[in-house]
């Protein structure tokens, strides 16, 4: 650490560090700017490769006429379409033929409903059409409907329209999210530092580190990982939140050293020697926890593991190299007008947290009981946990594809926009498989069978809309019926089956990943604190904080926001982020308590809380605020995730870390560190 600190803080070497970062960032811009081009935002791309719906999709690809991405242009009049309306529909079909859409493979004839209230023109886009091209084609179709007769409602629905609306929601996500995040972090840093210059250095550091992280994620996506817009948004927030937290901790220690050291370079070298090991352990725990997501079955969740790990590693590198170099260029002037001076008393600036520490020391039993009881009460909110979020309700506000779906459902079988696809590798089973499907309640109709290239496929129409509990129940019944007669030789896919497979993968991921993350956190805390009792209690406190946050969020999602459900990824990602990032605050507090414990167990808790309370709560506010920024995007899943993490971080920093953990440590005394008595160690310096 001495060698590393000397390298970063040297008179010439600090300039070399800055130049290397600037040149590296310039070289990485072309890669980071291409990240949006490799995003995959279709739900079908998230399903595990061995799932039934994925196998069916592979078999369906052998039939070009069926393997299509349908855009459904709908005309609807509640009183029934007139002859002139139908004439317009046929002229519209001819107009669409002449549009020259990028991904079009066929424009089907006008289909009129039995009630004559609706007409559909299906535009079949090639299944491999890029999301950008699909969005362009759907936009042109919607423009083509602008000349509909008065009183006729129009829209474009179907899977292609849903994909277009998703692409539109993610369009510009980087710029909007980055701007909002920078504004939030800037305000918080100005309030924290009250300095004209100091707030700039963490932002510059995280900004350049973000280029490094995004370039690495681009290469990751090119190698086959499924990176979507949600992943990129989370990466931005995660890097700015964690990077700002790390910067706060380093700057706090550097400011403290400047009050006892005349030369800024020596003060920074001491700060690095003290803070770098703790930051490395904290970031390492977060990275390991995120990498556990590689065990996930959902392909987008699996990719988020290395994506998040890359982001954390990038901001850690920037905090330990670029930030110290930038601060040293300006010396003490970086803190102007509140410049730390030699011999300045720091206790007066921590009066409030000293008061809190004394209050906790006087009432540990009451505060521990009250804090744990409050968290337990919030856990009752888990009873309000809603079901999975339907895809049509995944946007904030009503989107055009959802409106078109409603129009179609008023005139046609509700399942028309998302037919069930049944496939087999034995075409001889098609007649019997179609008969089985026709007898399943909830199947409105069964289409003809097609055989080619050693595969057989047919489509079935649901009576219910293709998403939601009713449709999923019918598809599960269909799967059970086909399996009963043909075993695994006949499989069921389609949009509803994709959602079922995603829900099952999400359930598997929660059962596997949550215990593994807890195990990693427990082992890392045990190694850092050299204790068994403390890591167990600290891990339990993080879990209780998460459950309380999820309970409170469930109530808010249902009764305040009015969301139709919770996205299947929110609970798992919220847990990983809260537990992994919550470990940061645990490490900062517990390592300081352990350092002070050999001299005086009770006094050590007071000193540790007074020393770290302000930094931890400031870091918690920054992290909570940055995750809240996810709510500016028109996606319910990101709003839910941002709210859950923000609530969890605030509960963890202001109740668990600031009150409950110190109170429990005071109540247990030396037993908190069982089975080894704390001893002074050069590796556990104060923050």
pLDDT digits (tens, 9 = 90+) for 504-539: 998 899 999 999 999 988 888 888 788 889 889 988
Answer yes or no: are the C-beta atoms of 457 and 434 closer than 8 Å: no
Once rounded to an integer, what is the mean pLDDT over residues 98-125? 91
Average pLDDT of span 308-317: 94
The per-residue pLDDT for 377 is: 96
User: Is-contact 506 296, C-beta < 8 A?
Assistant: no
State the pLDDT at residue 542.
86
Mark 599-618 as b/e (b = at least 16 C-beta within 10 Å).
eebeebbbbbbbbbbbbbbb
Environment class of residue 375 by beta-carbon count within 10 Å: exposed (0-12), middle (13-18) or buried (19+)? buried
pLDDT class of 469 with cuts at 50, 70, 90 = confident
Mean pLDDT, residues 132-155 taken together: 91
Lowest-pLDDT range of 196-200, 354-358, 572-576: 354-358
pLDDT classification of 314: cutoffs 50, 70, 90: very high
> Higher model confidence: residue 119 or residue 610?
119
* Apex 583 CA angle, 582 and 588, nearest 5: 105
Give the DSSP letter of residue 480. H
Q: What is the pLDDT of residue 376?
A: 95
pLDDT for the residue numbered 350: 43
Mean of the pLDDT values across residues 420-424?
A: 93
The pLDDT value given to residue 598 = 61
Contacts of 359 by beta carbon, 8 Å cutoff, 6+ apart: 367
Higher pLDDT, 430 or 281: 430
Identify the pLDDT of residue 685: 42
Q: Give the residue from 495, 419, 484 showing the smallest Cα distance to 457.
A: 419
pLDDT tens string 212-259: 998 999 888 888 888 887 788 888 888 988 888 888 888 888 888 888
Q: Which of 47-56, 147-156, 171-180, 320-329 has the lowest mean pLDDT?
A: 171-180
Closest CA to 641 of 550, 551, 560, 580: 550
Per-residue pLDDT tens digits for 452-465: 878 899 999 998 88
Residue 352 has pLDDT above 60, yes or no: yes
Residue 687: pLDDT over 60: no
- What's the average model confidence in pLDDT over 588-612? 73
Provide DSSP, 588-654.
HHHHHHHHHTTT-HHHHHHHHHHHHHHHHHHHHHHHHHHHHGGGGSSBHHHHHHHHHHHHHHHHIII
Report the DSSP beta bridge partners of residue 125.
69, 104
The torsion angles phi and psi of 671, rounded to 5 degrees, stand at -65, -20
Q: Residue 645 — pLDDT band, cuts 50, 70, 90?
A: very high
DSSP for residue 452: E
Contact 323, 202 (CB under 8 A): yes
The whole-number average pLDDT for the span 60-75 is 83
CA 330 from centre of chain: 37
Residue 351 pLDDT = 47
> 240-249, 322-331, 350-359, 482-491: lowest mean pLDDT where?
350-359
Instruction: Please state at what angle helix 364-379 crosses helix 351-362, rounded to 10 degrees.
Output: 90
Q: Report the C-alpha gap between 524 and 509 in whole angstroms.
A: 22
Phi, psi of 340 (to 5 degrees): -70, 135
Give the C-alpha separation, 233 to 181, whole Å: 11
- Per-residue confidence at 441, pLDDT binned at 50, 70, 90? very high
Mean pLDDT highest for which of 82-91, 244-253, 345-354, 467-476?
Answer: 82-91
Which helix H or strand E contains 259, and what residues bound it? none
The CA–CA distances, whole Å, from 622 to 48, 298, 357, 436, 615 equal 35, 30, 22, 57, 11
Residue with tokens 């995280």: 206
Cα–Cα distance, 663 to 606 (Å, whole number): 10
Q: Calculate mean pLDDT across residues 470-487.
A: 93
- What pLDDT, on the 0 to 100 scale, is given for residue 416? 78
| 545-580: pLDDT as tens digits | 999 999 999 999 989 988 888 888 899 999 988 887
Domains in the chain and their CATH numbers?
1-33+172-344 (1.20.1640.10), 67-169 (3.30.70.1430), 360-398+506-687 (1.20.1640.10), 399-500 (3.30.70.120)
Could you tell me the sign of the dihedral formed by the alpha carbons of 612, 613, 615, 617, in that order? positive
pLDDT at 348: 45
Considering only residues 316 and 632, tell me which one the structure prediction assigns the higher pLDDT: 316
Measure the N-to-C terminal CA separation of the chain; round to a whole number of Å: 15
CB proximity list for 394: less than 8 A, separation 6 or greater: 567, 635, 636, 637
What residue ranges in 474-525 does DSSP mark as E strands?
490-493
Distance CA 250, CA 268 (A): 9
Helical segments of 530-558, H only: 533-555
Average pLDDT, the chain: 86
pLDDT, residue 683, reads 38
What are φ and ψ of residue 388, in 5° steps? -65, 155
Burial classification of residue 7, based on how many CB atoms lie within 10 Å of its CB (0-12 exposed, 13-18 middle, 19 or more buried): middle
Residue 81 has pLDDT above 50, yes or no: yes
Helix (H) or strand (E) holding 358: helix 351-362
Question: If we measure between CA atoms, which residue out of 158, 152, 687, 86 comes closest to residue 404?
Answer: 158
């Amino acid at each position: 650490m001495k060698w590393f600190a000397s390298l970063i803080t040297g008179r010439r070497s600090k300039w070399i560090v800055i130049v290397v970062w600037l040149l590296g960032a310039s070289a990485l811009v072309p890669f980071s700017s291409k990240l949006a081009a490799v995003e995959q935002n279709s739900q079908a791309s998230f399903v595990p490769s061995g799932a039934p719906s994925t196998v069916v999709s592979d078999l369906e690809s052998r039939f070009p006429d069926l393997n299509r991405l349908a855009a459904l242009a709908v005309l609807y009049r509640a009183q029934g379409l007139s002859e002139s309306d139908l004439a317009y529909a046929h002229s519209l079909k001819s107009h669409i033929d002449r549009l020259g859409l990028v991904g079009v493979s066929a424009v089907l004839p006008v289909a009129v409903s039995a009630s004559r209230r609706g007409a559909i023109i299906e535009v079949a886009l090639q299944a491999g059409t890029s999301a950008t091209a699909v969005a362009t084609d759907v936009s042109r179709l919607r423009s083509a409907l602008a000349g509909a007769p008065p009183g006729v409602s129009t829209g474009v629905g179907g899977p292609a329209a849903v994909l277009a609306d998703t692409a539109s929601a993610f369009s510009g996500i980087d710029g909007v999210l980055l701007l909002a995040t920078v504004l939030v972090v800037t305000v918080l840093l100005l309030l924290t530092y009250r300095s004209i210059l100091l707030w700039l250095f963490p932002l510059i550091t995280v900004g350049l580190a973000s280029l490094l992280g995004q370039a690495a994620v681009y290469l990751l996506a090119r190698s086959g990982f499924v990176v979507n817009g949600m992943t990129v948004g989370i990466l931005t927030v995660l890097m700015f939140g964690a990077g700002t937290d790390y910067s706060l901790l380093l700057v706090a220690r550097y400011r403290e050293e400047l009050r006892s050291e005349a030369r800024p370079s020596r003060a920074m070298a001491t700060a690095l020697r003290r803070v770098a090991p703790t930051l490395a352990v904290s970031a390492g725990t977060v990275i390991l926890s995120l990498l556990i997501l590689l065990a996930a079955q959902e392909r987008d969740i699996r990719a988020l593991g290395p994506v998040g790990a890359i982001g954390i590693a990038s901001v850690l590198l920037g905090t330990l190299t670029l930030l110290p170099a930038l601060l040293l260029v300006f010396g003490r002037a970086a803190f102007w007008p509140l410049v730390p001076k030699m011999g300045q008393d720091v206790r007066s600036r921590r009066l409030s947290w000293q008061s809190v520490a004394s209050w906790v020391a006087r009432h540990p039993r009451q505060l521990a009981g009250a804090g744990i009881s409050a968290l337990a009460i919030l856990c009752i909110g888990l009873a309000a946990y809603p079901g999975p979020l339907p895809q049509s309700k995944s946007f904030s506000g009503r989107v055009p594809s959802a409106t078109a779906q409603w129009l179609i459902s008023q005139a046609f079988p509700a399942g028309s926009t998302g037919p069930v696809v049944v496939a087999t590798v034995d075409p001889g089973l098609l007649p019997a498989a179609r008969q089985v499907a026709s007898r399943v309640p909830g199947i409105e109709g069964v289409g003809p069978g097609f055989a080619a290239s050693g595969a057989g496929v047919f489509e079935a129409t649901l009576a219910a809309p293709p998403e939601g509990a009713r449709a999923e129940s019918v598809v599960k019944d269909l799967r059970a019926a086909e399996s009963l007669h043909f075993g695994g030789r006949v499989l069921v896919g389609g949009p509803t089956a994709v959602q079922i497979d995603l829900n099952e993968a999400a359930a598997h991921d929660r059962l596997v990943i949550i215990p593994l993350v807890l195990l990693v956190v427990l082992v890392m805390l045990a190694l850092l604190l050299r204790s068994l009792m403390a890591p167990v209690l600290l891990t339990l406190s993080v879990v209780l904080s998460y459950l309380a946050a999820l309970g409170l969020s469930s109530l808010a999602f249902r009764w305040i926001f009015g969301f139709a459900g919770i996205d299947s990824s929110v609970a798992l990602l919220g847990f990983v982020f809260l537990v992994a990032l919550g470990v940061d605050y645990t490490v900062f507090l517990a390592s300081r308590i352990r350092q002070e414990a050999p001299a005086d167990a009770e006094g050590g808790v007071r000193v540790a809380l007074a020393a770290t309370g302000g930094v931890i709560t400031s870091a918690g506010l920054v992290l909570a605020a940055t995750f809240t920024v996810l709510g500016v995007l028109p996606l319910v899943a990101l709003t839910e995730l941002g709210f859950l993490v923000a609530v969890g971080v605030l509960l963890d920093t202001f109740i668990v870390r600031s009150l409950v953990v110190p109170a429990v440590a005071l109540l247990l005394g030396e037993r908190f560190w069982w089975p080894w008595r704390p001893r002074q160690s050069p590796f556990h310096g104060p923050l």
